[in-house]
Copies of this chain bind each other. A is one copy, B any other.
Amino acid sequence: MTGRLWRSLWVAGLLFLQVNPGYGRQIPCRDPLSLWHDRPVKQAIVNFVRQVIDPADAAYVPPRDRIVTIDMDGTLLCERPSSVGMVFAESLLEELAEAPQLLGRQPFDAARQDRLNALRKEHFELFFGMSGAGLEEDAVRQKVRTLARQGRHPRFDRPYGELFYGPMLQLVSYLVQNDFIVYVLSGSDQTVVRTLCAERPEFAGMPPSRFIGTLVALDVDYGTSGPVFYRLARELEPVNLRKGKALNILYRIGQQPILAIGNSSGDCGMLASTLRSGYPATLRMLLNHDDAEREYAYPRASDSDAEICREQAGADILSISMRDDFEQVFPFDSGL
C-alpha cells in the first residue's frame, strides 16, 4: 500500500512538472537581484516584472512584446576614463599611424602627435569610422577580443571584459528568466558591442541581432568561402545615439520597449520609445554615477542628462544610484 502510494505521488509530481514547465521559475531559491540593495529602485523593478508577467494583471505583456533596451557604455560597463570602443579605436589609430600612406591625414596624424583627446572632442564621428579603415572585419573582431581579454583598465587593472557591473548583469539574467527579450543598444561600433558582450556568460544565449551599435561602412569581396568584408573610412547613418536609438528601435527591432535603461542624454530617444509601446506599465531608468570610491562620480553631467531625458521621455524616469542601489559594482570586487 505504501509502495503504491509513493508511486502515485511520484507519477503525479512528474505529471505536474511536465504540465507546468515554467513552474520552478516562480519560486526562486534565492533573491534574483541579490546584488541590489533593498531600496525603491529594486522594488520598482521587481514590481514591474511581476506585473507584466502575470496574465491576471491589467499590465500583463505577452512574452513576444517584452522588449528591453539597455545601453552599454556607462550602463552595463564602465565607460571612464574612456569607453572600450574609444580605447579600441585609439589603439587601432596608433597602430595604423605608422603606415606611410596615411601621413598627413587625420585622425592618423593626431594619433602620431598624441592629440587624440582634442580631436576626439571635435570629431567624435571620425573615430569609429576611420580607425579601422582598410582592415578586414574578421581581423577587427579578433583585435577587439584581444583587447577585451588582455587590455588593462588604467585604474582597476583588470581586462576590459571584466568591467561589467555585477548588478546589471544580474538584472539581465533576471529579465531573461522572465522571458524578456533583451537588446543592448550602444553608440559604440557594433562589432565592439557584439564582441565585448560575447565575453559574458549572461549574454551567451542571445543571438548577435540583439546587440545593436553604430555601423561602420563595409565593402564586400566574394571569395570561394563567401563574402569577405573590409572596413571603409566612415560610419553609416544613423549613429546609434540620441534620436538614432529611437530610429534603430524602429528599423532594427520594429517593436517598442517596455523597459529602457541608460545613463546619459544619448539614451533619451530610447527611453522615450517606451511611451509608444502601447502597454499600460512601462519603466525608464538612468544609472547615476555617484560612486567615486568604487567606480566614478560624474553626477553633474547625469543631472543635466536627466533633464533632457525628462523633456523627451516624461518626468517619471527612475534614477539608479550606483552608490546606494548597487551592493556590488564589479564582480571582481567580491571575488565572484
Contacts and interface: CB of A to CB of B under 8 A. Distances in A.
A276 B225 contact: yes
A256 B226 contact: yes
Contacts of A275: 224-226
Contacts of A255: 207-209
Interface string A200-232: 000000011101000101111010111101000
A103 to B, nearest CB: 29
A123 interface: no
A282 to B, nearest CB: 10
Contacts of A316: none
Contacts of A311: 222
Contact of A269 (B220, B236, B254): B220
A15 B18 CA distance: 8
Nearest to A183: B209
Interface string A3-19: 00000000100110011
Interface of A: 11, 14-15, 18-19, 64, 137, 190, 194, 207-209, 211, 215, 217-220, 222, 224-227, 229, 236-238, 243, 246-247, 250-256, 269, 272-276, 311-314
